[in-house]
Amino acid sequence: MQWKQLGCDQIFWSVSKMMRGRRGRSLSDIVNDAVAYYLREQQRAKLDREISAYESMHSDLWRKFPKEWVAIHERRVADHDPDRGLLYRRIRETYGLLPILIRQVEEFPAREIWLRTPSTGAIS
């Protein structure tokens, strides 16, 4: 297996970046942190791809599974169920801890969220 397949070039880049601010940390701790960071970034990227797939498939999903929960894996519907808990259990039994997007199919692909934040009083 090649280093590139494992993403080791990115891990080594992370390690070298973290080594600059080492300050009493062992190399083992720095490598572990770099690998954990790399894996989190890979999971985040996978979920971003699944969200994009969900949005592009939304009209078909709404037609086939309105108000149901769907699991998206590798840009395809892996499973669906009206009960989120049952779907989650099946997905975990099948895929373990792999990041799988589970989302309820609503009328619109993205929900608009409004957050109230305290004013800083600053005027831009």
Helix or strand (DSSP H, E) at 12 = helix 8-19
Strand residues in 1-124 grouped as ranges (E): 69-73, 76-81, 101-104
- Name residue 105's amino acid: V
Q: Encode pLDDT of 18-50 as tens digits.
A: 566 666 777 788 788 888 888 899 999 999 999
Q: Percent of the chain beyond pLDDT 90? A: 52
pLDDT > 60? residue 107: yes
In the beta sheet, which residues pair with residue 53?
none
Contact 47, 102 (CB under 8 A): no
pLDDT > 50? residue 59: yes
Four-residue CA torsion sign, 88, 94, 95, 96: positive
Q: Specify the range with the lowest mean pLDDT, choosing from 1-5, 58-62, 76-80.
A: 1-5
Where do we find the tokens 């300050």?
Answer: 23
Domain coordinates of the chain in residue numbers? 3-104
Residue 115's pLDDT band (cuts 50, 70, 90): confident
